[in-house]
Structure 1
């Protein structure tokens, strides 16, 4: 067990160092990365499509990279916005990593891109421990997922700089308790903003774009208590990352077995496709 923990910490420390280099490079060229995390089926693709359209209408140079285990469906949908879109197929890997992201941006990301939205693999466990060099980390949850979601996935919600509730147009039908959800978010991440949205009804449309632009200007970005604790207790962010895998179970056992065998979690050859833009 000790060896697995040490290997996990080494993998995450390497990722953190790579993420910081990527963040510095992208910031220097004027690009802000927004990392979107959620469970499968949360509606983040639908909301992102609306935000990309709005960004284009406002004249904001924006691009999107979306990761999936097996299909290109999300990229096809996002490409309808007319902005540059790239699909990364992870072949079963449950998260993106900073080195993977950097490789896929090289030679593809337009030089004038102001905002890059990264739609992570649908999963609230594995992606939560991996910094992608983002300036804004957003966690999304639909009203159908239950008010206790933040308590069940404290690392994902605890490290979020913005929490977005989706599908609010059906909140009444599923008896979503907004007050209870907000209280649970506050418990794991005091002070983080919670935004209510509906891609179908247009509720909250543009807030994500506004917060992304604010993060790029260095103003008004929430710093989670959990992030401050990690910085204080673990130089290089080596220690508290392990908390994710000790307490939230999803693909933990396969993940640990891979680490024990020396797998460095940089997936060898994820498939990458640039989806044609539609105008």
Structure 2
């Protein structure tokens, strides 16, 4: 595990809260660690994708499945308060997706993911992506056992989010600036959002993307494929 991952995972385990919340987070972290061990034993890379609502997570994952679905075995868990609409959209492009309906809870917890995994055949899966509930607040505190946390920040929501919601960016390894095709029409500064994000987390990586205009999607897919190969390499080295 490189230093960037270590720093982000350490931040996920650091939060100020009352006793009841602390117990909840400790229980969550216990399940998250069980998930992490299972993913390691299966050589499965797990990505937790977070963002505000409407930042383009599902559209990005549809395009991701189109690009690399025939190169690796990938599956997706999708969290939403109600409906299976996002999972249906992903199934329409040929990816095996399972919806986690939270019933009003504004984030996914490790126990929800663990239970969903029991209903998803993960044998031989190279990449498991968890699309979290659209929210920059609560999901930041809940480790799901992921290898990497990726956060989208859309040009339509303003460039001040990293400083307003610092914990999410502190606990992410990669920030995707989405909907960059709309930059000519919006008062959004990529330089400003990157500067703020790196002020919060100096190690965060950044990619600019547009799923509809085919900007940065190849770079994103390459990033995923490289992480998949890295995890397989770590597992192979451990056996030697």
TM category (shorter chain) comes to 0.7 to 0.9
Q: Which runs of no fewer than 5 residues in structure 1 stay unpaired?
A: 220-279
TM-score (norm: length of structure 1): 0.74
Q: CA deviation at 1:218?
A: 4.2
Higher relative contact order (CA 8 A, sep 6+): 1
**Is the counterpart of residue 56 in structure 1 residue 69 in structure 2?**
yes
Q: CA deviation at 1:197?
A: 0.2
**Is the counterpart of residue 36 in structure 1 residue 52 in structure 2?**
no
Root mean square deviation of aligned Cα: 1.4
Partner of 1:179: 191
Task: Tell me which stretches of 4 or more aligned residues in structure 1 moved more than 2 Å.
Answer: 206-219
Matches of 1:7 and 1:208, distance apart in 2:
39
TM-score (norm: length of structure 2): 0.86
Paired residues in the alignment total 215
Partner of 2:120: 108
Question: Are the counterparts in 1 of residues 173 and 203 from structure 2 also a CA contact under 8 Å?
Answer: no
| The one of 147, 150, 158 aligned to 2:162 | 150
Deviation track 1:134-183 (CA, whole Å, cap 9, x = no partner) reads: 00100101001111110010000111100001100001101321111111
Partner of 2:18: 5
Q: Which runs of no fewer than 5 residues in structure 2 stay unpaired?
A: 1-16, 232-240
**Larger helix fraction of residues:** 2
Question: Are the counterparts in 2 of residues 42 and 141 from structure 1 also a CA contact under 8 Å?
Answer: yes
Deviation track 1:220-250 (CA, whole Å, cap 9, x = no partner) reads: xxxxxxxxxxxxxxxxxxxxxxxxxxxxxxx
Q: Secondary structure of the residue that 1:172 maps to in structure 2?
A: helix
Partner of 1:131: 143
Farther-moved stretch of structure 1 (140-149 vs 210-219): 210-219
Deviation track 1:5-46 (CA, whole Å, cap 9, x = no partner) reads: 011111111111211111111111121110000000101111
Partner of 1:70: 82
Deviation track 1:177-223 (CA, whole Å, cap 9, x = no partner) reads: 1111111111101031110000011101133333233334447xxxx
Partner of 2:226: 214
Larger radius of gyration: 1
**Is the counterpart of residue 202 in structure 1 residue 202 in structure 2?**
no
